[in-house]
Chains A and B, each alone.
Chain A
């Protein structure tokens, strides 16, 4: 198993894709994959201080979860692994909410898609999130993520 490790915390600010003032995604590095086996891609996300997004498993039905999805490409996702959520209490909710804050990473395990051609390619992903502060919420947004893939 090969693994892409992108040290998001060490990235200088200019390397973070400034998708909004609230949430940024670091451009992922190239994934080297073989036809057999599983590879991991790590998507580094940075939330501005004071903001949170709902986790992938929000505590309330009405909340919109964070979700990373991938389109078709040379690799197909096996599993998307979200970080451990924090349970935070906010004035606007009677019970703690399951959220992500600060810097976190979403890891996807991929395997080669059947019939995928070897060589350089990309997979397009979408990170959908809905952010709030202690006092306000912002409409759900989607960040496009492009993952370079080198399939051998």
Chain B
């Protein structure tokens, strides 16, 4: 499934204007509202087997973080994500971690327990990765606005400050618009 990762990554780069995987992720504010595309809907399961959908986060700013237990750059971001969850959850913000570990919960559960992760984690799959432009390089993080649109994509480790700046800017945007069409089109589609 991952043999076409280069093409998929190229699609991601084209879709979001990201830098190459070996280069530092570009620090920037979220895209202008009119340039944002709807984030792809998905249904994945959390550690309790409960279905988690993108639609569950309707009206919230969502930080969607693709990661894996074997990924060093992902691991260093986890304390930041925990802090964001704590700091901003009461303002309509949430973090959702999508683990790309092929071994699934067997490796993910002890890992997140050890790091005392306070945000929701689900196990991802290749289909979800494809929906988000063919995520292969980890971490890959999407900031999704209250209307369910991708406001920013970061491929690779970014600074805590850049992530937080994006969150704060999105939280300042007015809320209240329905998530109509949020599931209509994958972000990787042109």
Contact = CB atoms under 8 A, between A and B. Distances in A.
Interface of A: 21, 50-51, 60, 62-64, 90-93, 97, 130, 132-140
B190 interface: no
A137 B68 contact: yes
A136 B111 contact: no
Contacts of B136: 138-139
B25 interface: yes
B70 A136 contact: no
B100 interface: yes
Contact of B21 (A136, A139, A140): A136
Contacts of B102: 139
Contacts, number: 70
Contacts of B71: 132, 137
A134 B74 CA distance: 12
A65 to B, nearest CB: 10
B68 A136 contact: no
A51 B69 CA distance: 19
A137 B138 contact: yes
A62 B73 contact: no
B75 interface: yes
A27 B4 CA distance: 23
B22 A93 contact: no
The B contact surface, by secondary structure, is: loop
A135 B157 contact: yes
B138 A135 contact: no
Interface residues of B, number: 27
A138 B6 CA distance: 12
Q: Chain A binding site: helix, strand, loop or mixed by DSSP?
A: loop
Given A64-B70, A92-B72, A132-B72, A137 B137 contact: yes
Given A97-B72, A136-B73, A136-B138, 20 more contacts: A62-B69, A62-B75, A63-B70, A63-B72, A90-B72, A92-B157, A93-B76, A132-B73, A133-B156, A134-B24, A134-B157, A135-B23, A135-B156, A135-B157, A136-B21, A136-B156, A137-B71, A137-B74, A138-B5, A140-B70
B40 interface: no
A50 B23 CA distance: 9
A91 B73 CA distance: 8
B134 interface: no
B70 A137 contact: yes
Interface centre among B2, B24, B69, B72 (most CB of A within 10 A): B72
Contacts of A62: 69-70, 75, 111
